[in-house]
Amino acid sequence: MKRWITAVAVGLGLAGSSAAMAQAAVNQPAPAFSVQDATGKTVKLADFKGKYVVLEWVNPGCPFVQKHYNSANMPATQKDALAKGAVWLAVSSTAKEAGDYRPPADLAGWLTSKSAATTATLMDDDGKIGRSYGARTTPHMYVIDPQGKLVYAGAIDSKPTANPADIKSATNYVRQALDEVFAGKPVSQPTTQAYGCSIKYASAG
């Protein structure tokens, strides 16, 4: 397991160097989307105009995702965001042919088992949303303001490891960003380097 985690972390560096990925820009309009969630309902970004929206790229098979769910850090961050009045959308951009793809009911069941508090879980099987945002890793986090502008993009926190023991001493960038915007302040760290497992996108075209 330790060797596999190391290989995944190295893979992150390779994925991050890909020039083929688009990159949504902070302080610019967030890319619009319309997609089915894990219940089969169509969800649009436009549905949440007037609210802060957090996007979280998720893959239950990733040790970095497991770090934040098994420790309850991600669910706690979700619940804090919802308590403030924000919307939280989990996004799966893992290709159907990938070995760790989770079908909608399976993914929703896993999130429920971890006490997640997502507003919806989006099934981006073709990777269109992920590519439009430039999402490279699980987790990869984004915060969108009530006017539809991207105000944060990057990591969940400041400790790029798969070790849950590091959470206590880490800065939770998403929680920090939401605390700042709800206090009427600008986001002090609007961009950070996301870390985690490389997203296994479906082949383009």
What digits encode the pLDDT tens for the residues 85-115? Answer: 999 999 999 999 999 999 999 999 999 999 9
Rounded to the nearest integer, the mean pLDDT of the chain is 91
Is the whole model's pTM more than 0.85, yes or no? yes
Write down the pLDDT at residue 2: 41
| Domain 2-198: assigned CATH number | 3.40.30.10
Q: Which of 103, 96, 94, 98 is nearest to 38 (CA)?
A: 103
3-state DSSP assignment of residue 196? coil
Domain assignments of the chain as residue spans, ordered by start: 2-198
DSSP strand E in the chain: where? 34-36, 42-44, 53-57, 87-92, 120-123, 137-138, 141-144, 150-154, 197-198
Helices (H), 37-154: 63-70, 73-84, 104-113, 128-133
